[in-house]
Amino acid sequence: MTRARMPRPHEVAAARRDPRLVRALSERDLDPTWRTRGLCQSVDPETFFPAPSEPADAAVALCRTCDVQGSCLAWALDVGDCHGVWGATTPRERRAMLVAWRSEVHSAPYDAERLAGMNVLRVLEQVGAASG
């Protein structure tokens, strides 16, 4: 297996303008339950992890119609996942997005109110799961 090359500056610049990345940035941490609503829940997981020589068209097409596409891509970029199709992107597309993502996320001002809201949501989910 060969190591993927680093994206070139023009690829990163194009990734910054990609509507999928813009959506992922706006939906980052918005809904921690996004996985339960993904269209991928009813599809064989192998569809989203084709062999390198196989096309990913079916997975990408399904993702494009999914309501949680932005949250899914945000998760993949947050964890740096470079395998499979996430948020209607292939690993190759995400390499350039990942560079843009990291600079956007790390340059964003600290938003204590947003983080506090996310913590409250997590606590409420845990309480609901424990009592349900």
Residue ranges for the binding site? 40, 63, 66, 72
Task: Give the torsion sign (CA, 113, 118, 121, 126).
Answer: negative
Amino acid at 47: T
Residues of each annotated binding site for [4Fe-4S] cluster: 40, 63, 66, 72
Amino acid at 70: G
3-state secondary structure 60-105: HHHHHCCCCHHHHHHHHHHHCCCCCCECCECHHHHHHHHHHHHHHH
User: 47, 61, 51, 54: which is closest to 89 by C-alpha?
Assistant: 61
Longest dimension (CA), the chain: 51
